[in-house]
Structure formats: C-alpha cells, structure tokens
Structure 1
Amino acid sequence: MIAMIYACPKCRSGQVQKLSLIYTSGTVTNSTRGSLSSAMVDASGNASVLSGDISATTHSQSQLASAIAPPDTTRTQRLITKSFSQSGYFICMIAIGAFFIG
C-alpha cells in the first residue's frame, strides 16, 4: 500500500485535511431524552401530579464547518420548484391574454 502525502500547493505545509473531515468534526448534534415528574398541593389541599417525557435536540456548528457545508438540497429544490411554478403561471397568463386579445 502506498501512503498518500498531501501538502498545500501554496505553502507546502503538510497540515491539510479533507473538507468532509473538517465539516464532520465541526458539526455536533446532541439528542437528550428524559422524564419529568412533579407533585404539588394547592392552598385548598388538593394534590396534583404532573408527569411526562421530555426530549430535546441541539445542533451546533463551527464557523468553518458552516462555511464549507454542502448545499441544502431540499432548499434548492424548493426554490427551483417555486421558480418554475411562478414562471409557468406567468406564461399561462400571457397565453390567455393573447387568446382574448388576438
């Protein structure tokens, strides 16, 4: 097996990393789950019990990871779809206008 040695073409430094590694190491997602139980008594002496499940997800990213993030394909697809639907509406309105005028 031949070891690949990478170096910066500009400064010849060997301290280089793949963009995917930088993105992955700078992106963190944490999920937490737990349960909550609480009991309380009001001024009249009536007791109430509250219980439930709690879940939370946090997402954080370094500025460098954010800068080199791959494009958000779902957002891009929505923009393209919206653009085509709006231009289709415009073309349809021109065709209807030409029909009535012509």
Structure 2
Amino acid sequence: MSESVGKKLFIARCAPCHSMELGAKHKVGPNLFGFFGKRSCTSEGFAYSDAIVKKAYTWDEETLNRFIEDPRRDVPGTKMLFVGLKKPQEREDLMAYFRKMSK
C-alpha cells in the first residue's frame, strides 16, 4: 500500500467532488477529512442522499473497499457519479491515504 499513490488517486478521482482538509468547505460531495473509521453521513451542513443515509455505514476497510469499488452497486440510488475503482491495489492505496488523513 502506498499513501503517495493514494494521494495521487484522490487528487485525480476524488478531489473534483470532495475536499480533504480540516475545515474545508463541502464541494459536490462532503469534506472527507477524518472520515475513515467514523459513521457515515456525519459531516455537518451536507445534504446526503436518502440512499446513503439508509446504509448507516461506519467507514472501515470492508465498507469503504466495497463502496469505492462500485458506489452505485453498493448504494443503489446514490447521487454520487463516481464509477468506482475496479483494481484492488488502487483501492488499497486510496484507503492508505484515507487512513493517514484521518489521524
């Protein structure tokens, strides 16, 4: 797993819709700073879709891996346009970056 590769993936694939800095404003998607290991849909001031609210996830390795592989399959009805990361290594690298940014 590589945090640096994960950061590059985040910038290329996630940053157009999500911020990842403490106190940054929401974009199309919520700010993801510190979300890894926490309950889903807890970013104050962001209007989540009913579909993701009903899932009531805790963002751990298992749920995040499944979600970022194919968000629309995992959460039917999500507003998220991201088609997912099909390669397991890319998901592992992205999660390594998320873990680092959640400390």
Smaller-chain TM-score bracket: under 0.3
TM-score by structure 1 length? 0.18
TM-score by length of 2: 0.18
Structure with larger Rg = 1
**Which has the larger share of strand?**
1
